[in-house]
Amino acid sequence: MRTGKWLIAAAAMAAFMGAETVKAQDEATVGATADFLGKYLWRGQNLVDDRVLQSGAGIGYKGLTASAWGNLDLTGENGNRGEFSEVDLTLDYSWQCSRLDVLSYSVGLIYYDFPVPKAGDDTTELYWGLSLDVPAGPSVTVYHDIDEAEGAYVSLGIGHSFAEVLELGPRIPVSLDLGATLGWGSASYNKFYWGSDNGKFNDLVLSLALPFEIGGLTVTPSVNYVTLVSDDIRRTDAYGRDSDDLWYAGVGFAKEF
């Protein structure tokens, strides 16, 4: 996993972490997720144009979380039916600003592994993010590829949750989560992933979800719209798909132990 670059990034993360007083829970948490989706789209890239199962598990303690996530192709759309086309390993540290409670930070590492041939080149990203616990919940996350692409991707997000907008039966309240993200890629990032030589705003994602809880299990049906916002990116046709404006739906399951 390119150990040298991991150690450099880990050292940078440790230095950043030391700048703030950590406010985090003292108890360890363990969680697992499983999402059935109609497509696999990532940063505007239509990687799998058919049904997938994306599952993950993680353990967290005092703000530090280690997790693993995988994308399992459920059809033969890319010739990988029944195989994990991608496995991501993430180390994240998140904490709250000691002087301004509405401000939260996060830093982390993601290693992207592509076990099947032609699914992609293994690579590593270092990221950092800021979010505000205010109406619309604005956030920014910057991902620095320190391996293959050697570029940056910036995600700008907003979102809001409405509690108990309806009920499934007398004791199952359903919430409404609305979100939007706008992504920008640097010239080197776009060159690697899209074949474009310019830094551009790449993709816009709009999402609507209706989470509810049954017996400690959180169930989240969702619908998502993804569009490419740059004409240069649209013209690359890097993934050979028929449309740059896509809808897909899914349902997710999450459990904390």
Distances (CA, A) of 237 to 4, 195, 241: 35, 9, 7
CA dihedral 250, 251, 252, 253 (to 10 degrees): -160
One-letter identity of residue 35: D
Cβ-contact 210, 220 below 8 angstroms: yes
Kindly state the DSSP code that residue 149 receives in the 8-state scheme: S
Looking at residue 237, what is its pLDDT?
67
* Structure confidence at residue 102 (pLDDT): 95
For residue 118, what is the DSSP state? T
C-alpha–C-alpha distance, residues 94 and 110, integer Å: 14
pLDDT in tens, the chain (257 residues): 343 444 444 444 444 444 443 444 578 999 999 999 999 999 999 999 999 999 999 999 999 999 999 999 999 877 888 999 999 999 999 999 988 999 999 999 999 999 987 777 899 999 999 999 999 999 999 999 999 999 999 999 999 999 999 999 888 999 999 999 999 999 999 999 999 989 999 999 999 999 999 999 999 999 999 999 998 888 886 776 666 789 999 999 999 99
Contact 23, 96 (CB under 8 A): yes
CB atoms within 10 A of CB 47: 20
Range of the domain at 207: 3-256
Return the number of other C-beta atoms located less than 10 Å from residue 165's C-beta: 11
- Given this model, what pLDDT does residue 3 score? 39
**Which pTM does this prediction carry?**
0.87
State the total domains in the chain: 1
CATH number (domain holding residue 12): 2.40.160.40
- Asked if 53 and 33 count as a contact pair (C-beta separation under 8 A), the reply is no
For 132, 166, 189, 214, 220, the CA distances from 176, given in Å and listed in that order, are 19, 9, 34, 16, 10
In the structure encoding, which two tokens stand for residue 245, read together?
A: 């404006």
Q: What's the longest Cα–Cα distance across the chain?
A: 56
